[in-house]
Structure 1
Amino acid sequence: MARQHPYNFAHVLLPQLAWRRPVAVRRELADPYLARELLLYVWDKAAENVAPVDRVPSKGLRLTWHEVAGRTTALLQLPAPQATMEVHFSALVYEEDEEPAENEAEETRPRYFTLEAALGLSGPAGTPTVVAEWSGDTHRQLGRGPAGGRPGTAEAFLEALAAVLGPRPNTQVPVMRIVRS
């Protein structure tokens, strides 16, 4: 069973914050200093109702930015999982190329994916994982993920996300010309 502290961070607080304030969170995560402060604040909030003995240090919590299938993606590495449903990596995937203005009426929520530890024995190849997506209150498993705890796990997770996302939808409508002979 997942430890409450990392579960609260990855499955509850982080996605809720990113969906509630998409533009502000994206802007804060883009600034290295603000990103560190925001992530440590959310990590500490995730431990508020957890017994001190069950709190997990933030060691290993990192953020990097990537382009996945033409989409800007914030990839978060979490402290090493020790139980099923704990997260190796999570990703906020933004469909827009750039940050929209904060006063825009409709802020597009990022998609939120996780690479979670799964049931199974750990071996030399790594630990079993599953790729999942949160959408509101819905948690949907998308299939087996790359082995966790390996040097190439982050890159393999990003490749798995690219396969899930597919090519970026073309924003231009194709022109169809009918030619009669």
Structure 2
Amino acid sequence: MLPQLVWRRPEAVRHELGDPLLARELLLYVWDKAAENLASPERVAPRGLQLTWHRVAGRATALLQLPAAQATGEAHLAAIVYEQPEADPASYERVPDDLDEEADDLLPDEPDEQLPRYFLLEATLGRSPDETGTPTMLGELRGEHHRHHAPGPPAGRTDTAGRFLQALAGLLGPPPEEVPVMRIVRG
């Protein structure tokens, strides 16, 4: 649900996630809304749900620490990466009180370069390359597409979040304004 909300109202969600009280309220709302159709034993308490902001390869990035993953495919961490500088706060839209079906029409079929990117550090099967921590995969959601980029850093370690952000920096490369321009000089 959170990626859909981020893509529907990118600047409004960015604004709310930038305020600690609003961020907590929004994340708990989305967590509860996502679980409302689950039976009680299947619901997971939001213990460990945290948000911190970072600069990753020159881009504003909201890092979400999620409750412990219980199964393959569940995420340990999520990162919302904003390619664009923050908009004027006067242009923020209100986040909807409910996530209605009609709003799904606003989601892109193809990735939009203006929309934030949503990355996951997902639990996987197998063994961690260095035998400490649990194996992960660096994934990305874009519109209706779910892509696995590469194996991620092992989860369950004190440096997992930092290594996840480093892996994102390598994947993202330099920000668009820092990409060197090649000039051909004839001698």
Q: Deviations over 1:13-53 (max 9, x none)?
A: 01000000101000000000000000000000010110011
114, 133, 137: which one aligns with 1:108: 114
1:22/1:108 contact within 8 Å kept: no
Q: Which residue is equivalent to 1:129?
A: 136
What residue number does 2:157 align with?
150
TM-score by length of 1: 0.84
1:124 Cα shift? Answer: 5.7
Give the paired residue count: 167
Are 1:83 and 2:84 an aligned pair? no
Unaligned 5+ segments in structure 2 are: 94-111
The alignment status of 1:29 with 2:36, answered yes or no, reads: no
Match of 1:5 in 2: none
Q: 2:41 aligns with which of 53, 61, 75?
A: 53
Secondary structure of 2:11's match?
Answer: helix
Is 1:147–1:153's contact at 8 Å kept on the other side of the alignment? yes
Q: Is the 8 A contact 2:80 2:118 kept in 1?
A: yes
The answer to which of 132-141 and 164-173 deviates more is 164-173
Q: Do the aligned partners of residues 177 and 161 (structure 1) sit closer, same or farther apart at CA in structure 2, a change above 3 Å counting?
A: closer
CA-CA distance at 1:121 after TM superposition: 4.7
Q: Match for residue 67 of structure 1? A: 55
Secondary structure of residue in 2 paired with 1:82: coil
Point out where structure 1 has 5 or more consecutive residues left out of the alignment: 1-12
The answer to which of 108-117 and 27-36 deviates more is 108-117
Is the 1:115–1:132 contact (alpha carbons within 8 Å) kept by the matching residues of 2? Answer: yes
1:108 shift after superposition: 3.0
Q: Could you tell me the TM-score, scaled by structure 2's length?
A: 0.81
* Shift of residue 99, structure 1, vs aligned partner: 2.9
% same residue: 58
Q: CA deviation at 1:161?
A: 0.2
Say whether the 8 Å CA contact 2:12–2:92 is kept in structure 1.
Answer: no
CA distance in 1, matches of 2:38, 2:31: 12
How does 1:10-29 map onto structure 2 within 5 Å?
Answer: 13-29=1-17
Tell me how far 1:164 sits from its aligned partner.
0.5
For residue 126 of structure 2, what is the aligned residue in structure 1? 120
Bigger CA drift: 15-24 or 166-175? 166-175
40 and 66 in structure 1: CA distance in 2 versus 1, 3 angstrom threshold? same
